[in-house]
Amino acid sequence: MSRQAKRGLLGISLVLPSFLILVFIVVLPIIGSLKESLTNDGGGYDLSNYKFLFTDKLMRSNIIFTLKVTVISSLLVLAVSYVLAVYMRFNNGFAVRWIRRMYMIPIFIPTVIATYGLMQLLGNHGWAARILYHLGQDSFPRMIYDMKGIIIANLWFNIPFTTMLLGSALSSVSDAVIESAKDVGAGRLRIFWRLILPLTYKTLLVAVTFVFMGVIGSFTAPYLVGPNAPQMLGVSMEQVFGVFQDRQLAAALAFFTFLLCSFIGYFYVLSMIKEEGMRRS
């Protein structure tokens, strides 16, 4: 056997365990969900379950509500995280040191505990409402059990990790490049749009992918602080499967959620392929 063939077999043997795990944990369940979602009450196969998703008023409102929450949460998380990452990268002082010590704390708090804390803080009789009452404010705006509650929870859960990702990308931006741009008269906005953003674009795509998939598939926070109707797709899926015992419709919801995640993943993979092609050329 030639040396090149041995290297090929070694590469395959190293990749094979990960590939098999991917097949059994991801690929086969997806295929099973697709088959289940296409099964009708008579045991045949058709698109009746998917038709119900887009024709039923409640299901359609759940899909629209999920997309709204996901898009708004993703945009807010990216905006706040990018501002924090840029601020910590190009500034020093007490405030920066304090933020660096504190912003990672939410990662180590379990989701259920953090959600319960939000309920105790922002509920009708929570800490914030009681403090405002003693300060003379009779009413407290509704902050949870609707879209705002889910968005606030998503900000809490996703900002630390996203800030860490973007901060690692910004740390690779050389100070010499920034100083050179300043020397030729470039302002802060021009430096950001022409240097900082292009150099961190790849990491920004990674952050968008993680945040989008995490929000659209979330369950705990939407279940505890979200509205009864409309619901996020994860909560709706649990209701359909656990309460109504409709496995086929639950599978259709699961596969449809997978398609939504694949949509954002497609653009990420496409951008990576283009970048690799540019490097080779």
What are the domain boundaries of the chain?
1-32, 65-280
CA dihedral 141, 145, 146, 151 (to 10 degrees): 90
pLDDT for 136: 78
Phi, psi of 39 (to 5 degrees): -85, 130
Contacts of 66 (CB under 8 A, 6+ apart): 216, 232, 233
Domain 65-280 -> CATH class: mainly alpha
Q: How far, in Å, CA of 207 to CA of 7, rounded? A: 35
| pLDDT score, position 215 | 93
- Residue 80: count of CB within 10 angstroms of its CB: 15
The predicted pLDDT at position 281 comes to 63
Taking the chain (281 residues) in runs of 10, the rounded mean pLDDT of each run is 75 85 88 90 87 92 94 94 90 86 88 90 82 79 87 93 91 83 81 85 88 91 90 91 88 90 81 70 63
Contact 225, 150 (CB under 8 A): yes
> Which one-letter DSSP state was computed for residue 45?
B
Say what the pLDDT of residue 279 is.
67
For residues 30 and 24, what is the distance between their CA atoms, to the nearest angstrom? 10
With a CB cutoff of 8 Å and minimum separation 6, the contacts of 82 are 166, 204
- Structure pTM? 0.85
